[in-house]
Amino acid sequence: MTPLEELRHSASHILATALLRLFPDAKLDIGPPTDTGFYYDVDLDHKLTAEDLVKIEAEMKKVAEENQPFLRKEVSREEAAEIIRSRGQERYKLGRLADIPEGEKISFYQNGEFMDLCAGTHVRYSSKVKAFKLLSIAGAYHRGSEKNKQLQRIYGTAFATKEELANYMEQVEQARHRDHRKLGKDLRLFVIDEDVGQGLILWTPNGSIIRQELQTFISEELRKQGYSQVFTPHIGKLELYKISGHFPYYKESQFTPVVENESLAKILREGCSCAEMVARLDAVSSHLAAQVNARTGIETITPDRVKPDDQLLDGFMLKPMNCPHHIKIFSSQPHSYRDLPVRLAEFGTVYRWEQSGELNGMTRVRGFTQDDAHLFCTEDQVAGELLGCLSLVKIVLTTLGMSDYRVRVGLRDPDSNKYTGAKENWDKAEAACREAAKTLGVAFTEEPGEAAFYGPKIDFVVKDVIGREWQLGTVQVDYNLPIRFDLTYSGADNQPHRPVMIHRAPFGSMERFCGVLIEHFGGDFPVWLSPEQVRLVPISEKTLDYGREVLSQLRAAGIRASIDEHNDKLGAKVRRAEIDKVPYTLVLGAKEAEARSVSVRSRAKGDEGVAPVDQFVAKVQEEVRLRSLSEKKRPA
Ligand SMILES: [Zn+2]
Ligand SMILES: [Zn+2]
């Protein structure tokens, strides 16, 4: 554990100590540190309330001030069970004890009257835990399974200093205001409807504008880099994914295949069982197995998966990835080395099965549109293409005011055999990723075990304005799929050669990226992304006609504007525009109508004075053209 994790984990022991003083019946499960704090899962008949948290926290302060040493005690398995029973904690702790592998040391840690089964480590004295806070209570299933009882999870956080804690609490408060689920609703950006399905985003008109502007922006940059735009369907034949290996490698994260109508009718006639049906969907023909195995040079498809042709079941998959479709576009024509690289881009929608408990607004969903592209290049071009991918990321993130980001290079886990492809190809691909990351001039870490099954990757983690980190998309090198699909190009020697593929979706998905942007901007989108750029507010009915005229003029100039024709007072209308986070509000009175001008209020700076309509139009158009970031809001 890092010193901070040690501190936080010790805080969770202190939490358990305090909790048992107040609720002696509580049955404890586990209390690990997290990235942002710690929690303890407890089973308690009494439903904990916010007031209880205040009391528990006060008791924790006492425990900390008692300056209890954390003492380690190693025991035998039998003694451990005895200690757990003597403390009435057998309900979960005996199971946790059974998790400890035979031969491993079993230890307890004691502070004051409390003793917990724990491997450690901890701070030396409870008084070291000075800056902590209990945050919330949530339901959490024992061992994360819905089949088990739901426990109460008490969340807290702890820091080395009071200042760090205060900063964190300020950040949490800001994050609450920026929550994309809340802002998404307030600003009418997207909805999730239970009848359509959890994790499936409905982009409403306002959110669609943001997405469309982003896609246009990214597409412009892609064209500059020589990409070609393609469109492909949302489904593909199961066999395609058996060749690619996406099925069954990622079976748990995919929707169950859709069985083809005729095949379904046939197996129903045969009275086939469900288990048999699943087995037939999984199976491959001996022809396909032989083909893939010959290409990869190893037994990629094992004999137990092969079934006679008349026992195979055809079906379709909701596209879990766009790669196989793009590969088929590439392989539909012969290629010479002179044509490479071929760069195929698509805002491609894919579907993944996520547990319902994992779904979260726009950032964890079941259907999403990747800013995807596949590059087919020669081995010599890999390093240069990786640089191109990274420079695109730089341009987009800088334009959005997210220049604070870091990069992770995901490498093989040397001890695992889940990776496909030859070792020397992996070595080359990993070296190319490392070299490309170096040239970015930002911090990067190497993470063994984080590679995809077909190749190493570069991940982007951006920091938003309030310092939170968000993982976006990836760039991945792939020596494997070109082999599985037997892709070739003819080289200068007129011989067939194998291209290398690069998969890249640097912003992840439009859903996730927009979710992150909503939080990053706190809903105050720059003018070019704002669903509504200008709100017209006539002072009274007398200037309504003038307002409608200005509205037509703005719309003709390509500016997204609307007019507030309600009968409210001026103040109420201006306030409404502020709540809707419209960048510019134009107030129109008799004087303005007379002079063909507008009185400009900006979201950032407040009153900006009167300007002729033409001049205002030119100013907004220029801001949009440059994709300027909005000026910082004045502190309220
Ligand atoms: Zn512990
Ligand atoms: Zn791909």
pLDDT digits (tens, 9 = 90+) for 29-69: 999 999 889 999 999 999 999 999 999 999 999 999 999 99
Spatial CA neighbour of 560 closest among 590, 592, 525: 525
Contacts of 473 (CB under 8 A, 6+ apart): 370, 371, 459, 460, 504, 505, 506, 507, 508, 509
- Residues, CB-to-ion distance under 5 Å, ligand 2: 323, 503
Evaluate whether 363 touches 516 at the Cβ level (below 8 Å): yes
Give the active site residue among 503, 520, 560, 601.
503
Element (H, E) at 182: helix 180-186
CA 491 / ligand 2 centre spacing (Å): 24
CA 146 / ligand 1 centre spacing (Å): 26
Spatial CA neighbour of 305 closest among 264, 247, 255, 352: 247
And the tokens for 44? 């308690």
Catalytic residue status for 274: no
Q: pLDDT at residue 635 above 70?
A: no
> What is the pLDDT, as a whole number, of residue 473?
86
Catalytic residue status for 280: no
Task: Write the CA distances from 493 to 335, 337, 490, integer angstroms.
Answer: 14, 10, 8
Minimum-distance ligand to the CA of 17? Answer: 1
> What is the pLDDT, as a whole number, of residue 531?
98
Radius of gyration of the chain (CA): 30
Give the active site residue among 116, 372, 459, 580.
372
Catalytic residue status for 234: no
CA 53 / ligand 1 centre spacing (Å): 21
Report DSSP state, residue 251. Answer: G
3-state secondary structure of 410: strand
Q: pLDDT at residue 636 above 60?
A: no
Contacts of 500 (CB under 8 A, 6+ apart): 376, 377, 378, 379, 381, 382, 429, 477, 478, 479, 482
> What is the pLDDT, as a whole number, of residue 352?
93
User: pLDDT tens digits for 105-139?
Assistant: 999 999 999 999 999 889 999 999 999 999 999 99
Largest distance between two CA atoms of the chain: 92
User: pLDDT tens digits for 333-390?
Assistant: 999 999 999 999 999 999 999 888 788 899 889 999 999 999 999 988 988 899 899 8
> What is the pLDDT, as a whole number, of residue 416?
81
User: pLDDT tens digits for 377-415?
Assistant: 998 898 889 989 988 998 999 999 988 888 999 999 888
CA 495 / ligand 2 centre spacing (Å): 27
The mean pLDDT of 129-157, rounded to a whole number, is 94
- Residues, CB-to-ion distance under 5 Å, ligand 1: 118
**Distance between alpha carbon 512 and the CA centroid of its chain, in Å?**
6
Give the active site residue among 89, 370, 476, 533.
370
Give the active site residue among 118, 323, 377, 389.
323
Q: Is the pTM of this model over 0.85?
A: no
What is the SS3 string spanning 610-633?
Answer: EEEHHHHHHHHHHHHHHCCCCCCC
User: pLDDT tens digits for 574-588?
Assistant: 999 999 999 999 999
> What is the pLDDT, as a whole number, of residue 250?
77
Give me the helix-helix angle, 77-86 and 90-99, nearest 10°: 160
CA 70 / ligand 1 centre spacing (Å): 9
CA distance 286 to 292: 10
> What is the pLDDT, as a whole number, of residue 383?
85
Catalytic residue status for 372: yes
Give the active site residue among 280, 319, 352, 408.
352
CA distance 615 to 29: 66
> What is the pLDDT, as a whole number, of residue 175?
86
pLDDT band at 633, cuts 50/70/90?
low
CA 118 / ligand 1 centre spacing (Å): 5
Q: pLDDT at residue 423 above 70?
A: yes
> What is the pLDDT, as a whole number, of residue 377?
95
Question: Mean pLDDT for the chain?
Answer: 92
User: pLDDT tens digits for 266-282?
Assistant: 888 988 888 888 888 88
User: pLDDT tens digits for 210-256?
Assistant: 999 999 999 999 999 999 999 999 999 999 999 998 887 778 889 98
The mean pLDDT of 484-512, rounded to a whole number, is 95
* Phi, psi (degrees; rounded to nearest 5) at 528: -65, -25
Sheet hosting strand 457-463, strand order edge to edge? 228-229, 342-351, 367-377, 500-505, 469-478, 457-463, 405-411, 444-448
* Position 92, amino acid: Y
Minimum-distance ligand to the CA of 31? Answer: 1
